[in-house]
Amino acid sequence: MTTFDLRVLPLLVALFACNGGGETDTDADTNATIEPSVSAVIPSTVYTHRRLDVAISGYATSWTDTVVIDFGEGIDVIDYTVASPTAILVDIDVHRDAALGLRDVVVTQGADTTRYAGAFEVKAPLEVSVEGTFAQGSILVGEAIQSDPSTPFDATQTCDYFGCDYTNMAGIYDLAGLYTQFDLVGPRYSEFLVFVDVLSETGPTGMSIQSGPSFASDTSDVETLMTIDARTPKMLAEGSNGGTVTEAWGTEVWALDPGDAAFVNLNISTDDVEAEPWFALLDNTGSFVDGFIAYTDQYELEPVEGEGPYYLVVWDGYGDNDYAYTIDVDFRSPPAPVPDDTCATVASTTSMPIVEQAGNLDWFDDQDWFRVDVASGDLGKVLHVVTSPGADFADTLVDVYRGSSCTGLERLLQSDEDPILDPDWHEDVTTAPLDTAGTYYVVVKANEYFYDFAETAYVLDVTLEAP
């Protein structure tokens, strides 16, 4: 036997009081026959994708356990209890796709049929609106209103150093490759973003919002929300690539084939002072969940060989539109080696002192080696090494080695043992007093943690000085 919602018990008490708890066939004064009828159905409003208890009241009815109850297509009668000849408790399941609008309730007892026209209304529990480009590779902005007061949204949050998440809210769609991020949740209202993968499924989709612990407590649906169209990304070429944002929260999708480039510098800009276009950079999956790399206006991409293309989804997080933008693409590969790049290839000894020697660190792991000779008359002196601009932000590091060959070199000085903690762009360092005559190497190298391809030039000075 079904266990029914106790909230319907007061209703049944009232119904029994009105109807006498049983059947009435004739009017006591006129002896006229009274036609049986359905006099009430409570609640009078139901929402799709819900299972609930409904009370049906009759007048002059003789309902028994053989009664048949019909709520129309899309609503199943799971179980019922005939509480009296004039009262029925019904357990119903309202389908997600049940037609909205007023419904008739029909109760049949043998050959007798009673109908209550427009007895209750089927409504969608959600009112949802979404803005943006309804196509693959998009970021949509939406809001939802919960119409069913019995199933409020769960605004539980979990917070950490990076922010807070609404952990008991989830958005579900009919298409693969769509994801929801809730940004604001209250009992009756929520705001969210919908991320549409570059390679998502296409076609019409509804939306379900699951709310509650483990997303299992309540589900509210919109049967048809939007249609996601297919979209072919535009190809990025080296140099400047122009695009336009034509609608609020609109997107454009670009594909990047890095070829054999070791690095690709990406930068997006606009002349519109009120606009702020950024791009979501995704790997070859085109997925905002599995392939997300960054959301930024500038990025230095180190491609993984054979795993292109990469995708850029251009989006203005402030909703500005009707403006043009430019994506600048710079492919970078390591330069050909030059003689001063390693100890073994240093061409000759550099005369001391080294004064304002111009250098250039062409790559993030580039090194420039300088070989100097220290005579016996210079013992007790120190090597003083200074790097300076060049480029203001050419972040240099300095090592000094001693040795007669490139094997077994003894390092006498390291300007920064942990380059990521290097406090200065340029170096000014001094060795301990030299106690051995012979060959020494001064090495200037790039700090790869702060390397900037636009800031590579430096000036070197090396002197032998009294301590």
223 pLDDT band (50/70/90 cuts)? confident
Whether residue 273 is predicted with pLDDT greater than 80 in this model: the reply is yes
Quote the pLDDT of residue 37.
92
Segments of the chain assigned to CATH 2.60.40.10: 6-123
* pLDDT band for position 380 (cuts 50, 70, 90): very high
Q: What is the CATH number of domain 339-465?
A: 2.60.120.380
User: What per-residue confidence (pLDDT) applies to 32?
Assistant: 59
Cα dist. 27→115, 264, 464 in Å? 21, 91, 125
pLDDT at 19 over 70: no
CB-count exposure of residue 423 (10 Å: 0-12, 13-18, 19+): exposed
Look up the CATH number of domain 126-228. Answer: 2.60.40
DSSP 227-247: EEBP-PPEEP-SEEEEEEE-S
Report the DSSP beta bridge partners of residue 139. Answer: 195
Of residues 223 and 29, the one with the higher pLDDT is: 223
Is pLDDT at 10 greater than 90 in this prediction? no
For 133-159, what is the mean pLDDT?
94
Smallest CA-to-CA distance from 445 within 384, 381, 401, 383 is with 401
Q: What is the mean pLDDT of residues 238-251?
A: 96
Give the pLDDT mean for 226-246: 97
Rounded distance between C-alpha atoms, residue 47 and residue 205, angstroms: 19
234-332: CATH number: 2.60.120.380
Is the peptide bond prior to 258 cis by the omega test (within 30 degrees of 0)?
A: no
Report the residue count for the chain.
Answer: 467
Q: What is the rounded distance in angstroms from the CA atom of residue 348 to the CA atom of residue 337?
A: 16
- Mean pLDDT over the full length of the chain: 89
Predicted confidence (pLDDT) at residue 22 exceeds the cutoff of 60: no
pLDDT at 214: 62
The pLDDT of residue 218 is 78
pLDDT of residue 163: 81
Please tell me the predicted confidence (pLDDT) of residue 216.
57
Q: How confident is the model at residue 27 (pLDDT cuts 50, 70, 90)?
A: low
Q: Is the pLDDT of residue 3 over 70?
A: no
Instruction: Give me the percent of the chain exceeding a pLDDT of 70.
Output: 92
24: confidence class by pLDDT, cuts 50, 70, 90: very low
In the chain, ranges of CATH 2.60.120.380 domains: 234-332, 339-465
User: Confidence class of residue 215 from pLDDT cuts 50, 70 and 90?
Assistant: low
3-state secondary structure of 355: strand
Q: Which fold has domain 6-123?
A: Immunoglobulin-like (2.60.40)
Separate counts of helices (H) and strands (E) for the chain: 1, 34
pLDDT tens-digit map of 401-452 = 999 888 889 999 988 777 777 778 999 999 999 999 999 999 999 998 898 8
Mean pLDDT score, 152-179:
91
Q: Which helix (H) or strand (E) holds 282?
A: strand 277-282
Evaluate whether 462 touches 352 at the Cβ level (below 8 Å): yes
Confidence of residue 344 (pLDDT cuts 50, 70, 90): confident
pLDDT recorded at residue 421:
75
CB atoms under 10 Å from CB of 125, counted, come to 25
Q: By the 8 A CB rule, do 401 and 439 touch?
A: no
Contacts of 163 (CB under 8 A, 6+ apart): none
The mean pLDDT value for 155-161 works out to 89
Per-residue pLDDT tens over the stretch 287-310: 999 999 999 999 999 998 888 899
pLDDT tier at 30 (50, 70, 90 boundaries)? low
Instruction: Give 4's pLDDT tier (boundaries 50, 70, 90).
Output: very low
User: In which element (H, E) is residue 293 found?
Assistant: strand 292-296
The pLDDT of residue 351 is above 70: yes
How far is the CA of 352 from the CAs of 121, 324, 374, 383, 465, in angstroms? Answer: 95, 56, 9, 10, 11
